[in-house]
């Protein structure tokens, strides 16, 4: 049996700076039809930056959809037309932490919420951090603080709910595997 759905029509409801929203009418494998709400996103990168002291650099910031502060790995969206994801990761690492690396390893690609969005996250890992010569400014609407946590402290932050996003939790699992 094929699980493929055939798109019969698509209506764009919203075009934004970060996402586009559309509604599709699809033919299901059994011949019935259904409606699918789709969020289109250019994708994003996340970086797992481990310091020479064996601590993870995380970013504390406010997240409007949840109306609370979170602690997350440095990350950012891919701008339209960008194809060199390592370059995007280095830009975000510079912007959010003032650091760079010559040893950036791509470790995973995954869809963040495949039930309604095509956003693909590419995750990078580095343990060779150095200060940048020219720090990029934060985005005009971005306010954050960089924090350093050990693996045990980061795991406690997951239990407390301060670390609550999938990319950071996935990063912690990867870091834990590297620590063994």
| Rounded Cα–Cα distance for residues 12 and 136 (Å) | 34
pLDDT value of position 178: 87
pLDDT value of position 46: 98
pLDDT value of position 169: 97
Per-block mean pLDDT, blocks of 10 residues, the chain (180 long): 95 96 97 97 97 96 94 96 97 96 96 96 96 87 92 97 96 90
pLDDT value of position 136: 87
Q: What token pair was written down for 99?
A: 């650091």
| Rounded Cα–Cα distance for residues 15 and 33 (Å) | 25
What domains lie within the chain, and their CATH numbers?
A: 6-40 (no CATH), 42-178 (3.90.79.10)
pLDDT value of position 56: 97
Whole-model pTM: value is 0.93
pLDDT value of position 107: 97
| Rounded Cα–Cα distance for residues 129 and 52 (Å) | 8
From the number of C-beta atoms within 10 Å of its C-beta (0-12, 13-18, 19+), residue 14 rates as: exposed
pLDDT value of position 77: 95
């Amino acid at each position: 049996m094929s699980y493929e759905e055939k798109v019969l029509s698509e209506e764009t409801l919203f075009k934004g700076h970060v996402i586009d929203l559309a509604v599709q009418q699809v033919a299901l494998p059994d011949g019935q039809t259904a409606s699918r709400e789709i969020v289109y996103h250019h994708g994003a990168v996340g970086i797992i930056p481990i310091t020479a002291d064996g601590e993870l650099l995380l970013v504390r910031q406010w997240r409007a959809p949840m109306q609370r502060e979170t602690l997350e790995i440095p990350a950012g969206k891919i701008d339209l037309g960008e194809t060199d994801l390592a370059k995007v990761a280095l830009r975000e690492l510079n912007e959010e932490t003032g650091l760079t690396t010559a040893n950036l390893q791509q470790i995973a690609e995954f869809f963040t919420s495949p039930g309604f969005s095509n956003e693909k996250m590419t995750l990078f890992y580095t343990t060779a951090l150095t200060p940048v010569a020219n720090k990029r400014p934060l985005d005009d609407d971005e306010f954050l603080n960089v924090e350093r946590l050990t693996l045990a402290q980061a795991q406690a932050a997951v239990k407390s709910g301060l670390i609550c996003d999938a990319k950071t939790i996935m990063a912690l699992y990867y870091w834990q595997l590297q620590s063994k």
